[in-house]
Structure 1
Amino acid sequence: MELSRKIAQIRKQKGLTQEQLADRANLTVRTIQRIESGASAPRAFTLKTLATALEVNFDELIDPAPADNQIQTDPDKDIDFLKTLCLSCFSYLIIPFIHFLIPLALLHKTGNLNREITAFARKIIRQQIFWKVITCLTLLLTLAYNLLSAYYIGKGYQVHYLWPFFIMYFLNGFLILQRWRQINGMRPDLQRLA
């Protein structure tokens, strides 16, 4: 329930008019009207004053965060968010070592996502972290191969470092595009859940 409706409901249950509540809370009637209509969001001090005037606990007055499975979101906004998150993964082309921090920041900045959207977003971020680790390991293995072949064989065949580098970069681009296609396929499922 919205805070404005909750305050109005508690006031009516206590049998108070807006004027009486305003007198008890030492606020103006206009302030009470604006809060109950949802035109203004009260500050914490005002909420504490209202809780005292209504004789309820401050924690009961403020709305608790809904459970993950009760969060109502717009499927189109969820799809747009996932697409933005997916596109932000292409930052590996510019910032190859810490690019996964950009989609991670987007996820933390966006609140109130349902469980399915959050899980999919985390899966995208984990994929980028795994890609980074595998890319580094591939380059280290290339170095080890080149050192061993130079030491034991002499002028044996050396693998150029750009080959595994470009292969891994193209692979990541392909993986990001695969996730993009998965996101487009999620739209009917999200609309069914809404």
Structure 2
Amino acid sequence: MKNANLAKKIKELRVRHGFSQETLAYETNLGLRTVQRIENGESEPRGETLKRLSIALKTSPDELLDWSEQEDKGFLLLLGLSPLSFLIFPLLGIIAPLVLWIAKRNKIKGADTYGKKLLNFQITWSVVLFLAYLFFILAMFGVITIELDFLSSFDSLPIIVLFLGLYFINISFIVVNAILMFKSKNVWYPSVRLLK
């Protein structure tokens, strides 16, 4: 699989530069059969050969090896479900997908766009959750006064229902959008757009 991706990259760059296989062989001082084997995925260029190819194709060896995005639905599903770690600790719902997104955003097809939407939603949800906690703590200690009947008696049921509702909304969006993404359908998260 890796040989096939690298072979495809090299061939695409060769064609983009307008080189024939013979021209690329001449420019790199490699044999024509070597270039053909590399482009057919029969051989993987390493060391000096990789360096010569990258110079001729005006790229670096690292960029040549990581040049194109690969499709990996398994990773996208992992990225999509990683915010469920908020159940352990709320900030993990941001940290886990952020780490995965940074690691693979330019290497996995769809990871950048999907990751941004997911992170925007998780950040928005975490801010709303924090503000709700802050609001109720301040109301409980009388720092702010509110004229809502259910809060004046400090009955904890409405508060529990509110927080369970927030958690249910987050879990629902995470699971539904992970399934949609896995099926290559459009995802939608309500959020403030923080990452563009």
TM-score strictly above 0.5? yes
Contact 1:88 1:102 in 2 (8 A): yes
Q: Determine whether 1:169 maps to 2:174.
A: no
Q: Label 1:15 to 1:128 Cα distance change in 2 as closer, same or farther (>3 A).
A: closer
Shift of 1:42: 2.3
Which SS does the other structure have where 1:118 is aligned? helix
Alignment TM-score, normalising by the size of structure 2: 0.58
Gaps of 5+ in 1: 23-28, 190-194
Equivalences for residues 64-143 of structure 1 within 5 A: 65=67, 74=71, 77-78=72-73, 80-110=74-104, 111-114=106-109, 118-143=112-137
Contact 1:146 1:158 in 2 (8 A): yes
Q: Which residue of 2 aligns with 1:13?
A: 23
Shift of 1:148: 2.0
Q: 2:54, 2:177 → 1: CA distance? A: 48
Q: 1:140, 1:89 → 2: CA distance? A: 22
Q: Which residue of 1 aligns with 2:153?
A: 157
Which SS does the other structure have where 1:101 is aligned? helix
Q: Which has a greater percent of helix?
A: 1
| 1:95 counterpart letter in structure 2 | F
Q: Deviation string for 1:95-121 (max 9, x for gaps)?
A: 322321211222222233446x53233
Which SS does the other structure have where 1:95 is aligned? coil
| 2:153 counterpart letter in structure 1 | Y
Shift of 1:48: 4.4
Equivalent pairs, count: 164
Q: 1:150, 1:49 → 2: CA distance? A: 70
Q: 1:138, 1:88 → 2: CA distance? A: 23
Corresponding residue to 2:45 among 21, 26, 41:
41
Q: 2:135, 2:67 → 1: CA distance? A: 48
Q: Label 1:101 to 1:34 Cα distance change in 2 as closer, same or farther (>3 A).
A: same
Gaps of 5+ in 2: 1-7, 187-196
Q: CA RMSD in A?
A: 4.5
Q: Label 1:140 to 1:89 Cα distance change in 2 as closer, same or farther (>3 A).
A: same
